[in-house]
Amino acid sequence: MQVGIIANPNKQGAAHTITALTVVLQQHGIATELEHDTARIIGAESPSNASDLAKSCDVIAVLGGDGTMLNAAHRIGPTDTPLAGINIGTLGFLTSCKDDELHLFAEGLLEKSYKVVPRIMLKSSVIYADGKVDTDFAVNEITLSRGQTGRLISLDAYIDGALLNHYHADGLIVSTPTGSTAYSLAAGGPLISPIAKAFVITPICPHSLTNRSLVLDEHSEVELVTAESSECASFYSIDGREVIELPSDARVQIKKADHQLHILRLKDRSYFSTLREKLHWG
């Protein structure tokens, strides 16, 4: 078995965890391959980029938190290779274990006492008036918001070609089940089992109290358009990354992506135990 390693260089303790993980895996007879930016953290060299690891490794260990996992998923691109998050610091929803559980991680790989959980992702297509189309995918969510202005935006949302609603709000979130514990939750959206075949539309601070989150089945197709009556431009972002101001005549089409994100879970670890711990449930 070979494990690829990607780490967040901005995490305090990243260098220590990279070295410790490499040593522990080698002690268990597991080969390692560092992504080139990760190698530099410990003063080493590697020719491999993130997508190379997906081709040459059986598992990719991602050292950091949920944000590092999101970033790694985008850098790696579509792959069936599972990602195992090793949390440096606080508990994460997407991580498999903490940085003081490296022996458990190595033993789990060696004994194959883990399972790989597929998570649905979203494909987003921004269609411009001149016919240009920009596509990307989301692990957590796709957001249209009002940016830094104090004004509300107006958005028309269509489901499978039929008008759903005219939203007057700070914005709108289209979230995967994975993202239901992220921005959508902060905006009042529901928690959804990570393996559910669904996604959810959640308005951000809607002007009307009758506007609520809506859970859709995985085959639904969503289209978002900035209404002519909107007081300001819409700003588009995926997974909290780069924010782009959209022209008023651009359309955003969203549907389930053709590929999934594969998350490695160790034996006796579950999403619900993480949820209980993270949300301080009894």
pLDDT for position 35: 98
Average pLDDT over residues 138-145: 97
Average pLDDT rounded to a whole number, residues 210-222:
95
Q: Is the dihedral of CA 262, 267, 273, 278 positive or negative?
A: negative
Annotated ligand binding at 160? The verdict is: no
Q: Would the pLDDT of 150 be above 80? A: no
At residue 168, the 3 state secondary structure works out as strand
Q: Decide if 4 contacts 53 (C-beta within 8 A).
A: yes
Contact 5, 15 (CB under 8 A): no
Report the percent of the chain where pLDDT is more than 90.
Answer: 84
Choosing from 37, 52, 58, 66, the catalytic residue is: 66
For residue 165, which of 203, 108, 112 has the smallest C-alpha distance?
203
Mean pLDDT computed over 272-282: 86
40 labeled part of a ligand binding site? no
Range scoring the smallest mean pLDDT among 16-25, 236-245, 266-275: 266-275
Tokens of 254: 């969203």
High-pLDDT (> 70) share of the chain, %: 99
245 is in an annotated binding site: no
Provide the pLDDT for residue 75: 96
- The H or E element containing residue 55 is helix 50-56
Decide: helix, strand or coil at residue 213.
Answer: coil
Whether 201 shows a pLDDT value over 70: the answer reads: yes
pTM: 0.93
pLDDT, greater one: 256 or 242 = 256
Q: Between 207 and 190, name the one with better pLDDT.
A: 190
Give mean pLDDT, residues 78-95.
Answer: 90
Burial of 34 (0-12, 13-18, 19+ CB in 10 A): buried
The Cα angle at residue 173 between residues 244 and 250, in degrees rounded to 5: 45
Only one residue has tokens 């939203």, namely 167
Q: What is the pLDDT of residues 222-254, one digit of tens each?
A: 999 998 888 888 999 999 999 999 999 999 999
Domains with residue ranges and CATH for the chain? 2-113+267-278 (3.40.50.10330), 121-258 (2.60.200.30)
Q: Which residue has the tokens 């905006």?
A: 187
CA distance 171 to 148: 12
Plot region of 239 (φ>0 → left; ψ -120 to 50 → alpha; else → beta): left
Active site residue 66: yes
- 170 known ligand binder: yes
* Residues 23-82: tens digit of each pLDDT: 999 999 999 999 999 999 999 999 999 999 999 999 999 999 999 999 999 999 999 999
**d(C-alpha 114, C-alpha 2), whole Å:** 16
Mean pLDDT of 162-181: 96
Q: Is the predicted pLDDT of residue 149 greater than 80, yes or no?
A: no
Judge whether 130 is annotated as a binding position.
no
Question: Rounded to whole angstroms, how far apart are CA atoms 181 and 222?
Answer: 21
Q: Residue 91: its pLDDT value, please? A: 67
pLDDT score, position 1:
94
Q: Would the CA dihedral through 253, 255, 260, 261 be positive or negative?
A: positive
When the pLDDT of each residue in the chain is averaged and rounded to a whole number, the result is 94
